[in-house]
Amino acid sequence: MYRKFAAVILCLLVLTGPQLVQAASTPHDFVKVKLISNVSRVEAGKEFYVGALFELKPGWHIYWKHPGESGLPTSVKFAHTDDLEIGELKWPEHEQFKQGELTANGYSDSVLLFAPFKVKARSTGDKITVMAKIKWLGCNGSLCVPGRKTEQIELPLGSLTKSSEDKLFRKWFKKVED
């Protein structure tokens, strides 16, 4: 496993090293990511979702949790206060890409990687905060650029209220792999 991972990294560096240096001085707007929720207000004991929405420029892709023979897995690591319970990250169905002789798994256009949350009944305060450390490798036909971002979202406590993003979560929930 370690040798395969090291070989992938070495290949990426050899093939994209000059482009990575060049890309360091260019804007990284080919992969945009933001943290969103399906609710605008949370309620103790009721489930809600928070996710990282990736929007990619045409021709770009990021990788699935099992990237295949090339690439690096996308990562969304949630940090939260003790008054929250968090479930497993949901991975929608992925697509396959050919990169030369190699096959990779990932997403193009957009994807929402999300997890269920629940506020514990003994929660105090008037809001909850969820933070996510997000990492990805964005690639097109000739360039791969790693990205990372820390995002956070604050949601007030009260009666559970769906947000304008709820429809988007429902769309992606239908595409989650079992």
Number of domains in the chain: 1
Is 60 in a helix, a strand, or coil?
A: coil
List the CATH number of the domain containing 144. Answer: 2.60.40.1250
Q: CB of 43 within 8 A of CB of 120?
A: no
pLDDT in tens, 96-122: 988 788 899 999 999 999 999 999 877
Q: Within a domain: residue 38?
A: yes
Question: Which residue, among 45, 62, 136, has the nearest Cα to 105 in the 3D structure?
Answer: 62
145-to-8, 51, 70, 73, 136 alpha-carbon distances in Å = 14, 22, 14, 13, 9
pLDDT in tens, 34-55: 999 999 999 999 999 999 999 9
Residue 12: per-residue pLDDT:
46
Q: Within a domain: residue 178?
A: no
What's the pTM? 0.83
Q: Rounded to an integer, what distance in angstroms lies between the CA atom of residue 178 and that of residue 176? A: 6
Res. 126: pLDDT tops 80 = yes
Q: Within a domain: residue 154?
A: yes
Q: Within a domain: residue 43?
A: yes
pLDDT in tens, 130-178: 999 999 999 998 889 999 999 999 999 999 999 999 999 999 999 997 6
Is 169 in a helix, a strand, or coil?
A: helix
Q: CB of 99 within 8 A of CB of 70?
A: yes
Q: CB of 63 within 8 A of CB of 135?
A: no
Q: By residue range, what is the domain housing residue 165? A: 2-173
